[in-house]
Amino acid sequence: MYFVVYLIENGKNSSWYVGFTKNLKQRIIDHNNKKSPYTARIDGKWKLIYAEMYLNKKDALGREKFLKSGSGRKFLKKQLKNYLLIN
């Protein structure tokens, strides 16, 4: 079983959301259909901009926690430097 840590971006205000799931396709559909408490209160469509796969849940949860931290946000901005310049 694979677990995915993902980063989605809101098309309307460019806000980010980091999460983890076993089914990435369905999870993004859920975000866009307002079935996630945090993303439901923000207008606009969500699109996937970054993802990492893990073999076990514990590793995925640890990575999600890191990416939600200040250091994790810095890491993502560095990783997505070219993406951020284009958008």
Mean pLDDT of the chain: 93
- Segments of the chain assigned E as strands: 3-10, 16-21, 46-54
Secondary structure class of 17 (helix, strand, coil): strand
The total number of structural domains in the chain stands at 1
Structural domain including 24 reads 3-86
In this prediction, residue 82 has a pLDDT band, given cuts at 50, 70 and 90, of confident
List, for residues 43-70, the tens digit of each pLDDT value. Answer: 999 999 999 999 999 999 999 999 999 9
Q: What CA–CA distance (Å, rounded) separates 48 from 15?
A: 12
Residue 58, token pair as written in the block: 């514990």
Q: What CA–CA distance (Å, rounded) separates 64 from 73?
A: 11
Percent of the chain with pLDDT over 70: 98
Check which CATH number belongs to the domain holding 31 and give it: 3.40.1440
